[in-house]
Chain A
Amino acid sequence: MDVSQYLGIFLDESREHIQTLSDQMMILEQEPENQDAISEIFRAAHSLKGMAGTMGYKRLQHLTHVTEDCFSDIRSGSMAVTSELMDVLFQALDAIEGYVNTIQESTDEGDDDNENIVNEINRIRAAATGKGDAAPAPKKEESADTAEGGADVAPANDKAAYRNIKLDESAKGVMEDAIVAGKHVFGFSVYIQETCLLKAARAFLVIKALEDMGEVIATDPSSQDIEDEKFDFNFSLFTICDNDIDTAKAAIMSVSEIEEAVGEEYTVEMMQNFGGAAAAEEAPAESAETKEEAPEVKETAPAVKQETAPASKAENAGKPQAQAKKPVISKTIRVDIEKLDTLMNLVSELIIAKNTIVSAADGGESSSQTLNEQVEYLESVTTNLHEAVMKVRMVPIESAVNKFPRMVRDLEKKLDKKMQLTITGEETELDRTVVDEIGDPLMHLIRNSADHGLEHPDERAAKGKPEMGTIFLNAYQDGNSVIIEVGDDGKGIDVEAVRAKIVERGLASEETAAQFTDKEVINYLFDPGFSMAKKVTDISGRGVGLDVVKSNIESLGGDVSVKTKLDEGSTWIIRLPLTLAIIQALMVIVGEEKYAIPLDSITTIESVQESDLKLVQGKEVIQLRGTVIPIVRMSNILGVESTHNMDEDMIVVIVKKGDSQAGLVVDELMGQQEVVIKSLGKYINTDRVISGATILGDGEVALIIDANALI
């Protein structure tokens, strides 16, 4: 079996499972008794193990298996959740993620056995339960389990066939929960008289009788097979019941033509042992499967290794080879089927519109009316189509932020501070490319808050704050933008300290620095190499950080600002465009060239007489409804001759960035248009006034003005 075609799915699903594990382990750490979390973890670990086995990734499978064993012990209560244990388990999770990353890069899981983690887990298990020491060879343990399970089952009453029902994890979870909740769980094997003609009907009545008292969780054969009469004269089932076993038994026996009902009540412990037997049954099957596939996987694996190894060696030799290192998997996106249906409908409308136009074009004069109508129709269809396609590209920012709780947990230990992270609005949707890129800047900001922002607990207590510091991340949509706020309730930015630092670094003289507004001072924090950390830690303070944050966010077409108050904390506010590829823009002409100004930065368009201009500190401004707005003559900025006639009113486009505004003087307005943003490429260094280009209907290239850069 060639499994390579499943690699994409494997990677996607592994990541999902890893994320689930990480989330639930965080919960478990907080609430060691949380059964839901344990079941969830167990399920994810189990699926991951199975998938790794199927794909032939032995090391990944082994590590997951060891981890799963560990959770099994936690679940059965034979091992307590300790901070030490969780640390190791998180390490194991990181290693698992490491395998998955390696697989993504090279299709091979690498040859790191992560033995130290495995040994550490086994050591803790051994200490806690006294049985983990057999684990270095987990295969053996598995077979031991099987033997144990077998021993359990063999001497049992032959008629108690319910003991052989295969229960999946979720069913088991449900039943365990029910037992904990004080309900009764019974296993029954029901024997119908061999003279019975309508055994399916009898079986149905039995199940119905039991369902009147509770819930039937599992049957053997399946309920479908029972209905179809695909069973001999007996069947087995598990049921959750409000009444005791005698009542249940009586209910079964009250159905006519039932010969016998054998059953017993299950406790949590029995249920877990039951699971052991079931899992053991599954496990050999799995490993057999793996063996079967192993030779083929091996066949491809060395080939891949040979290819990648020289490539990485040659890495320094030159650029072309470096390309070989790129991930082998293309990016995928999971799309809601409804979104695809909308797309499909729009495309069929598009085809209809096209056909009508084709026939209208053939039809001669009388058809010009139809043609106009159809062009309008076509326009609305393409607009909708655009919207639908954009929606397909939109994903919740969840995938970018869900690794942060774990990160904050690690930072808490490393920095020896108490902190919690609250996240809201993780369902806010952004373009996939933005979501992919936003993770790093956000991570920087959170680390910054943890390291620089939050104080040590004693310091906080002295200030009368709760010892536990809070870092928050709020995301929400605001018009055509998405705002992400990252902040903390820590000490805030000490503006005077930054001011002193600016002078100390020789970035400005003492007098100039003294005249800076707080905002201007804080802006220095975004300068490359400007670090405020008193000591460099490996978390932050090396002067790479805020400038990277700023440039990353700007490359996504967004901007970042900060609000801070001494001793109350700081909030970093990131504003990102909802979509990257297509924007609404105002088309203007300056000189003889066409430019596009993004509509969401424009507030109004004003007609201003030359005589209304005033000079403030040698700069032109206008007064508009009580606000003084600086004027920017676009012809000067863009280096062209203005075609504007001095006698006429000037056209001033008022643009805003946060609270500040500017008036851009243009020569002519062309109107509003949807434009597709194209990059100018990495080789041209513009002065940031031009953020990109777009192609107009007639093939002409127009440049897009970044109004933010002019304010």
Chain B
Amino acid sequence: MEELERYVEDKATQYIVVNLGIEHYGIDIKYIDNIVKVPAIRRVPNIEDYFKGVINLRGEVIPVMDLRLRFGMEELEYTGKTRIIIVKLDPQAAMGLIVDEVEQVLDIYDSQIEKVSAEKKEETNGYITTVGKTDRGLVSILNLATVIGEKEQQI
């Protein structure tokens, strides 16, 4: 009975699971506007390294960042599997995130989500604050606000 109750209250959120190397990252589907293959990227001079530049997505100019570089990982050449996840935190401002590949759409239940330790939070610059423990392994859930850099601007 108790279990049933828990089951009822336990809400699932859909995440797009993307991979960087062997690690899985989850992005809340409600922020995702689009997923595209890598088009020609126009370099923009004098910006942070993790920004690769801007792309033209159906007439919109959208900045793109390489998530690998953002997370301090080694840069990889783009392959046929590389994708740009277009996310919109607020309706006027889109951002493209370059990932190695898109794996799947996954329901993660509230009960599966755990907060990461303070050290881990520090270690990832606050990009990851929660982790989903799923049947398919650990999925680090991206805190998009900090990944995209809203926090950084305040410093």
Contact = CB atoms under 8 A, between A and B. Distances in A.
Question: A and B, one complex?
Answer: yes
Interface of A: 319, 323, 593, 637-640, 678-687, 689-690, 692-695, 699-703
Contacts of A681: 61-63, 93-95
A700 B93 contact: no
B55 A701 contact: yes
Contacts of B44: 680, 684, 686, 690, 703
B43 interface: yes
B93 A682 contact: yes
B42 interface: yes
Interface in B45-86: 45-48, 51, 54-56, 59-63
B145 to A, nearest CB: 8
B148 A683 contact: yes
A699 B60 CA distance: 10
B42 A687 contact: no
Contacts of A689: 45-46
A683 B61 contact: no
B149 interface: yes
Given A683-B148, A699-B56, A693 B45 contact: no
A640 B45 contact: yes
A684 B93 contact: no
Nearest to A688: B46
Contacts of A640: 45
B40 interface: yes
A686 B89 CA distance: 20
B96 to A, nearest CB: 10
Contacts of A639: 45-46
A640 B66 CA distance: 21
Contacts of A690: 44-46
B153 interface: yes
B91 to A, nearest CB: 9
Interface residues of B, number: 27
A683 B45 contact: no
Contacts of B55: 701
A686 B148 CA distance: 15
25 contacts: A319-B89, A319-B90, A319-B145, A593-B43, A638-B46, A639-B45, A639-B46, A678-B61, A679-B61, A680-B44, A680-B54, A680-B63, A682-B93, A683-B63, A683-B149, A684-B63, A685-B47, A686-B44, A690-B45, A695-B61, A700-B40, A700-B42, A701-B61, A702-B42, A703-B42
Contacts of B90: 319, 323
A690 B48 CA distance: 14
A695 B149 contact: no
A682 B56 CA distance: 16
Contacts of A319: 89-90, 145
Given A693-B42, A700-B56, A701-B42, A685 B61 contact: no
A639 B54 CA distance: 16
A323 B88 CA distance: 14
Contact of A638 (B40, B45, B54, B93): B45
Nearest to B145: A319
Contacts of A683: 63, 93, 95, 148-150
B56 A695 contact: yes
A646 to B, nearest CB: 23
A639 B43 CA distance: 10
Nearest to B148: A683
Given A683-B93, A685-B153, A695 B59 contact: yes
A687 B149 CA distance: 17
A683 B89 CA distance: 11
A689 B89 CA distance: 26
List of 7 A-B pairs having minimum Cβ-Cβ separation, nearest first? A701-B42, A678-B61, A638-B45, A693-B61, A687-B46, A684-B63, A639-B45
A678 B60 CA distance: 7
A680 B148 contact: no
Contacts of A323: 90
A348 B55 CA distance: 34
Contacts of B153: 685
Contacts of B59: 695
Contacts of B145: 319
A439 to B, nearest CB: 21
A701 B40 CA distance: 9
Nearest to A684: B63
Contacts of A694: 61
A702 B40 CA distance: 12
